Structure 1
Amino acid sequence: MVPANPCALPGRSTEFWFSDGSVVLIVENMAFRIHQSILSKHSDVFADLFTVPQPRSDSDSIEGVPVVHLTDNLADFTDVMRALYEPFHFDKLAPDADLATLIQFVSGILRISTKYNILTLREKCIAVLRTKFPSSLSACDRLISSRYKYVASTIVRAIPLARETNVPEILPWAFYISTNIANDTLLEDSVLSWRDKALCLVGKNQLWEMQKSITHKFHFEFSKAPTCQLPCQSRLPQLMSWRRTEELRVSPHPLEQYLDWDSLKVCPRCVEYAQMQHQKGREMVWKTLPSMFQLGSWEDIQKEQNR
């Protein structure tokens, strides 16, 4: 109900107070006079809300327009109104925007569009996030080749956002990148839950084992091609220092594409064999990445996100 005391009346939104608006939505202490038809077109939740008869009194309308109180965050709701009323709102986001900017731009819209089932806005937000959180190995390779640098304090914000808004498809890559955060920094982080911190720590060990024994095994233990007739023996395992091994252990990256094949100093057949094993290993890591963080399979993720 709108307070009867005039001094306690909500302020009017300077952006979204339309003289022909057919409903007043009050969020926190701000009133938005907007159009039921626009909200109903994009949201079946709002459409149902507006069809439910509301009890009438002298204080449940403003300028003769019905009032509906919402319990949402004001900044989030304002962002959604901008996205609904401004056709090119998402074009404001620069193509080269960093992850912090992306998350700040979409988080409010994603929360509200998920809650009220505004599918067009939700899908736009997910499409934006996909540019930094691949859900296929080919997209992962494109992102890796771009040499984009993630910031620890930003990447961890994506995990609770994905859980809150049911966008599990960004979680495998978010966890994967988070395993490169130093353990002390990760444990002291105030954004991640303790469960997600534990998943990062366990996942880090799993990724390191896969890098050492599958995707980049030739760095640690060279295997000749079965068809090789030469005494090939790469010196890479001997050249792998303890320091470099420790660096890889604390910051594993089994999905990284190895390109310096000439450094193996072996015959073409052995190089081809190592390349094949490397790619097959990367495909295996990608396939099992969700399960490392207790997310099921990629198929399970899509079912959960689309339910």
Structure 2
Amino acid sequence: MDVDNTPTRIEELWFSDGGLVVQAEQSLFRVSAGILAARSPVFKDMLSFTQPPDAESIEGCPVVRLPDSSADVTCFFRAIFDSSFFEPHPSKVSFENVLSILRLGNKYAVDYLLRRALVHLSYDFPTTLAAYDAHPKNCSTNLETILDSDAISPFIAVIKIAREVDALWMLPSVFYELARTEDKFIRRVLRCTAYNDHPAKLGDEDQILFLTCSLHLTRLESEAVAFLYSANTNAHCARGERCIRARLSALAKIQDYLADPDEGSPNALSLCSNAEIWDALMENCCKQCYNSLVEANEETRKSLWDKLPGFCGLPPWPELEEMKARALEL
């Protein structure tokens, strides 16, 4: 079967007054060389060279060929030449566009687009427990596909691009979400190579890191509920055995949840967040014991959260937050 390799104009990015034609794969873009040079020092240097008399041209415009994918360049150029295409957070954007703009914004040093894309992506992979708790887990407000519970490749694509642009502050949250995947998906994680047209393959070190994080996660599940095991009765307990039975009942419900294959992958940070469990504890425990359990749960969750960067071989959260603030100019 013959394949038509004739270059095709991308009409939405073919400006009649543009003085430069850019080709990526089989796509052609006619754009303003001056605007590109103003936005990108890389393009400025690239376009500063004097063209030889026999240089390739289309409709009198010099041609520059880029090694990037047509999809990435289309997205990147739209962000540069259409101010409404990729607006700052909290405007809604697509995950695919974030990946494209991160990649080319970093490569061609278009800093304002790079920062904008980092802000969008960082929202979904927070550096504080409070932000993690506040995030809408079932319906992301800006990235359309990243939180799909059955999707493995988007998380791997985030790891890939975070490494590429040195956005290391995202990695603990990403690896935590990825490591929670069910056993049946582990092979898919290790064999994944792409998310749609975007690179999504874990390097050797990150494959080891993924498996290590998965092992750590099983230990975190035990730590998450350890405060319910305590045999020590609160010194100010008013109900004695009833409070102990309430704790053990809560623990049994959590263990049933962990053993139920229909409940999906466990989340150590929210194992003890079930409202029914806390309603039962409130009803059956004395006020002193209940308040003590609430405090112990929050302290435990904070302790678990603080361990995540170490699992990834990264510095603690405060240092990662400083790195994030510098990159985003917060």
TM-score between both structures, scaled by the size of structure 2: 0.75
Cα distance in 2 for partners of 1:188, 1:146 equals: 22
Alignment partner for residue 76 of structure 1, among 69, 72, 80?
72
Corresponding residue number in structure 2 for 1:254: 268
**AA in 2 matched with 1:212:** S
* Structure 1 gap segments, 5+ residues each: 1-6
**AA in 2 matched with 1:120:** Y
Cα distance in 2 for partners of 1:95, 1:35 equals: 27
Change (3 A) 1:39 1:147: closer
Identity of aligned residues (%): 27
Corresponding residue number in structure 1 for 2:149: 150
Change (3 A) 1:145 1:72: closer
Change (3 A) 1:273 1:63: same
Cα distance in 2 for partners of 1:223, 1:40 equals: 69
Q: Tell me, yes or no, if the aligned pair for 1:218 and 1:236 is still in contact at 8 Å.
A: no
SS at 1:161's partner residue?
helix
Q: Tell me, yes or no, if the aligned pair for 1:287 and 1:298 is still in contact at 8 Å.
A: yes
1:140 Cα offset (Å): 0.7
- Which has the larger displacement, 238-247 or 70-79? 238-247
Q: Tell me, yes or no, if the aligned pair for 1:187 and 1:197 is still in contact at 8 Å.
A: no
SS at 1:233's partner residue?
helix
Corresponding residue number in structure 1 for 2:296: 277
Are 1:105 and 2:105 an aligned pair? no
**AA in 2 matched with 1:233:** I
1:79 Cα offset (Å): 0.7
Alignment partner for residue 81 of structure 2, among 85, 88, 105?
85
Cα distance in 2 for partners of 1:178, 1:274 equals: 29
Kindly tell me the number of residue pairs found equivalent between the two proteins.
Answer: 295
Corresponding residue number in structure 1 for 2:225: 216
Cα distance in 2 for partners of 1:292, 1:269 equals: 35
Cα distance in 2 for partners of 1:95, 1:57 equals: 46
Q: After the TM superposition, which residues 78-227 of structure 1 pair with which residues of structure 2 at under 5 Å, given as runs?
A: 78-90=74-86, 102-143=94-135, 150-153=149-152, 154-189=154-189, 190-191=191-192, 192-193=201-202, 194-213=204-223, 215-221=224-230, 223-227=232-236
Corresponding residue number in structure 2 for 1:3: none
Change (3 A) 1:106 1:227: same
* Cα displacement string for residues 8-33 of structure 1 (whole angstroms, at most 9, x for unaligned residues): 98443322222322322222233322
TM-score between both structures, scaled by the size of structure 1: 0.80
- Which has the larger displacement, 278-287 or 218-227? 218-227
* Structure 2 gap segments, 5+ residues each: 141-147, 193-200
Corresponding residue number in structure 1 for 2:252: 240
* Cα displacement string for residues 69-106 of structure 1 (whole angstroms, at most 9, x for unaligned residues): 22111110011111111221136x99778xxxx32232
Are 1:288 and 2:299 an aligned pair? no
